[in-house]
């Protein structure tokens, strides 16, 4: 599988909900359109919350990938 390269990585491991999503949204504000933000989370709810947020906000949910003890959730800024 080709590794998707994020333009910005946010380490939110250890943060409880809504911490990881809040960190991701903060990062999205700071990057240009088409950039990918990756958040590292240990909260199982982050993936579904991020999907729902992307649907609402019009950004692209790129995917969620398991890593060593955490999950990488990736979003592309679309506007």
Residue of 4, 14, 17, 22 marked active site:
17
User: How far apart, in whole angstroms, are the C-alpha atoms of residue 79 and residue 6?
Assistant: 17
Nearest of 29, 36, 30 to residue 61 by alpha carbon: 36
Q: What is the nearest approach in angstroms of other proteins to the Cβ of residue 33?
A: 13
Does the active-site annotation cover 54?
Answer: no
Residues contacting residue 18 through CB under 8 Å, at least 6 positions apart: 49
Q: What is the nearest approach in angstroms of other proteins to the Cβ of residue 75?
A: 12
Q: Which residue has the tokens 């910005």?
A: 8
* Contacting residues toward other proteins, per CB under 8 A: 14-19, 21-22, 25, 28-29, 49, 52-53, 56-58, 79
Q: What is the nearest approach in angstroms of other proteins to the Cβ of residue 54?
A: 10
Positions marked active-site = 17
């Amino acid at each position: 599988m080709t590794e998707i390269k994020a333009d910005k990585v946010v380490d939110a491991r250890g943060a409880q909900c809504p911490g990881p999503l809040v960190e991701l949204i903060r990062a999205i504000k700071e990057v240009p359109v088409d950039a990918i933000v990756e958040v590292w989370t240990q909260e199982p709810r982050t993936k579904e919350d991020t999907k729902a947020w992307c649907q609402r906000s019009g950004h692209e949910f790129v995917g969620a990938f398991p890593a060593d003890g955490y999950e990488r959730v990736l979003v592309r800024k679309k506007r």
